[in-house]
Chains A and B, each alone.
Chain A
Amino acid sequence: MNEDFLTEEVIKRRALISRVKIHSFQTLFAVLLIGSWQLLTDRKILDPFFYGKPSGVWTQLVTWVEHGTAIGSLWVNAWVTLYEATYGFLSGVFLGIIFGIFLGRNKTAADIFAPYIKVSNSIPRVVLGSIFTIWLGLGSISKVALAFVLVFFPVFFNAFQGTREADAKLIANARLLGATNGQVTRRVVIPSALSWITASMHVSFGFALIGAIVGEFLGAQRGLGLLIATAQGTFNPNGVYAAMLIIAIMALTAEWLITQLENRLLNWRPSQVSGLEL
């Protein structure tokens, strides 16, 4: 039997080959999908009036970039949506973590607030958008508020659960080593709840975008949600797709940033637990 050890070079080459393979299949899939869409609409098998077409989406984007949209510059509208989502996200994450940890550490407070939290969580939150529009007007604040409530609850529940699940043995150990209650919270509870919290952050930037866009649907002067609503009103499917594409780019960028943050905060975890790269 002659079993050679794999050299570093061979391992690297194999990894490269499998990466190239995966990427080429991914590209092929995209080409097939977009290509068949283009083909079907070109041949009028699908009516481009209703379904739009890839080349139309591209033309729409170029027009928006070069000449602006019906409701003003594309950049201004994209920026408005982005900052509404970002403000909602940051405030929701911040307060969600604070409340989650506070109630997770304080059983009496958790028992007192439990029914209120359950009730407010059971309200379909998108409905609150209407109330916020009435209260706060057509400006950005009502959209930030809607994004905030959408983000707050998942982050809150995860922070709460993560705090509750902190290993009792580690807490006992920290106390025996001389930690005060505050030190236990900061040095033991928060680090162990952090993987729960970052998990909720991944989903909640998406929620923040939903909040901003739904808010803009309900009534706004600017933003990608309004742009989509306008395109819908003028039977312009390409406009809807083009705005969707911009939103998707925002969401993916935010997701990438959150993953970077997560990797920095959770650098102590064994690497295989860090999750699939999706």
Chain B
Amino acid sequence: MSPLSIDQIFFIYFFLSLSLLSIGVIASRNIIHSAFFLLIFLLHVAAVFLFLNAEFLMAIQIIVYVGGVLALFIFAIMVMNIKDELKHRRFVKFAGSGFLVSLLFFAVFYVFLRNIRLETSKPLTSDTNMLGSLLYSYFLLPFEILSLVLLIALIAGILIAKKNPKEDR
């Protein structure tokens, strides 16, 4: 067996740590510990992006998911009472169906990914300029639709969170 190249060592490390961390997220009983595992998990995903030469995605992953989304998660978690959560039993009785669903999921995944062939001859380069110009020319319509969807979600969020003035009185 030939010695592993640095790329392969990194790949094995990320593969193992990502799977272990994601198990940690769902398996820990303390919800803050879950959040902590999720933090490290998201950082590892950012590192995988960097590994695939996607510098821009790496930075955006850290800013959006680590800096924004997870911080809001924890903010919501902190105002909850986690002592109540600890009293509940785990969902052990659904383990069988969960196993079946995951089996089905991975089977479908395998069917889809079976025929993928990577083009190794083309050198991967990252170019943020190209990303920007593509986003505003070729992918303009999907981009605008997405921004509209996000705007609707934002307005809906504000409407739900807003107190009804009649209830106050």
Do A and B come from the same complex?
Answer: no
B residues with CB within 8 A of A? none
A residues with CB within 8 A of B? none
